[in-house]
């Protein structure tokens, strides 16, 4: 049948990302919910996933990847999410900013800015596109900050600058978080006088780093679902500064040239 043929064209494989990602947990749940028993979800990384997508897309070959929004891949390629009528991937989420305990007392200027930091999916995408086109993340972030001076002015308004104090921001090397973390780093350095180090780690150590006080903050908590295991594990050992972006999405993603529209069609 036609559904069987979709599986055959992609070897019954879905290209995943790093195993700790909430997206991988949701993807495994989707395989269960839709009873896709003969399918496998491949572990890898965000970078390997986009490389596989790029290769397949250029050859107009079929491919199914685990994807998320905001992401530059939706700008660069003509893609579609597979419908998820069972809701395995959850609803649209917020990304929260998370600080270590006592950051408000120790670094009040950084804390006040982090608490205010808020932007939109299209802002984040602009930075992501620049990086995907070869800009280094610092330059892409600096360009966005320059182009959005009025927004940045609001973020830092009335906050006294520091004088070279050090801060450590934790992140996982997902393209979305590389973009947001570099923008926050740029503002802390160029507008508030901090010296920022980035701690690029896996998702578990990112949360443990904040909870243990080894890192000062991160802007990568997808809630209420994607990052909830880590949120609950470390609850009480960090401060949730609330949403910095609304309107995310997760799911299985395919090139638009593929003749498949729903996860149900994979059975």
The contact set with ligand PBE (CB under 6 A) reads 17, 21-23, 68, 174, 176-177, 220, 222, 226-227, 250
Closest-CA residue to 17 (of 39, 47, 37): 47
Q: Find the shortest distance in angstroms from Cβ 193 to ligand PBE.
A: 29
Q: What is the Cα–Cα distance from 8 to 256, expressed in whole angstroms?
A: 18
Pair of tokens at residue 129: 């596109």
Query: Is the Cβ of residue 7 or residue 19 nearer to ligand PBE in the bound state?
Result: 19
Q: What are phi and psi of 72, to 5 degrees?
A: -65, -20
Q: Find the shortest distance in angstroms from Cβ 71 to ligand PBE.
A: 8
Q: What is the Cα–Cα distance from 23 to 180, expressed in whole angstroms?
A: 18
Query: Is the Cβ of residue 15 or residue 152 nearer to ligand PBE in the bound state?
Result: 15
Query: Is the Cβ of residue 6 or residue 64 nearer to ligand PBE in the bound state?
Result: 64
Closest-CA residue to 204 (of 30, 18, 43, 69): 18
Closest-CA residue to 23 (of 69, 58, 63, 57): 69
Q: Find the shortest distance in angstroms from Cβ 36 to ligand PBE.
A: 19
First to last CA, the chain: 10
Q: What are phi and psi of 256, to 5 degrees?
A: -60, -20
Query: Is the Cβ of residue 23 or residue 258 nearer to ligand PBE in the bound state?
Result: 23
Q: What is the Cα–Cα distance from 176 to 125, expressed in whole angstroms?
A: 8
Q: Are 262 and 82 in contact (CB under 8 A)?
A: yes
Q: Find the shortest distance in angstroms from Cβ 77 to ligand PBE.
A: 17
Q: Find the shortest distance in angstroms from Cβ 255 to ligand PBE.
A: 19
Q: Find the shortest distance in angstroms from Cβ 246 to ligand PBE.
A: 14
């Amino acid at each position: 049948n036609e559904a069987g043929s979709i599986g055959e064209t992609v070897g019954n494989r879905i290209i995943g990302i790093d195993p700790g990602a909430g997206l991988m947990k949701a993807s495994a749940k989707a395989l269960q919910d839709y009873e896709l028993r003969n399918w496998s979800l491949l572990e890898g990384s965000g970078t390997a996933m986009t490389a596989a997508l790029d290769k397949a897309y250029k050859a107009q070959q079929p491919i199914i990847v685990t994807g998320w929004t905001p992401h530059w891949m939706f700008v660069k390629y003509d893609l579609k999410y597979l419908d998820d009528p069972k809701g395995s991937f959850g609803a649209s989420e917020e990304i929260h900013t998370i600080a270590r305990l006592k950051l408000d007392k120790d670094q009040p200027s950084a804390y006040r800015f982090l608490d205010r930091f808020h932007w939109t999916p299209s802002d984040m995408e602009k930075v992501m596109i620049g990086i995907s086109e070869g800009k280094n993340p610092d330059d892409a972030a600096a360009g966005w900050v320059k182009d959005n001076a009025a927004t940045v002015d609001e973020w830092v308004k009335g906050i006294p600058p520091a004088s070279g104090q050090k801060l450590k921001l934790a992140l996982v090397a997902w393209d979305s978080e590389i973009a947001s973390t570099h923008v926050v780093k740029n503002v802390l350095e160029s507008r508030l006088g901090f010296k920022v180090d980035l701690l690029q780690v896996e998702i578990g150590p990112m949360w443990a780093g904040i909870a243990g006080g080894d890192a000062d903050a991160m802007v990568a908590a997808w809630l209420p679902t994607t990052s909830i295991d880590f949120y609950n594990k470390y609850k009480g050992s960090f401060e949730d500064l609330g949403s910095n972006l609304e309107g995310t999405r997760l799911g299985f993603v395919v090139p638009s040239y593929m003749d498949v529209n729903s996860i149900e069609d994979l059975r």
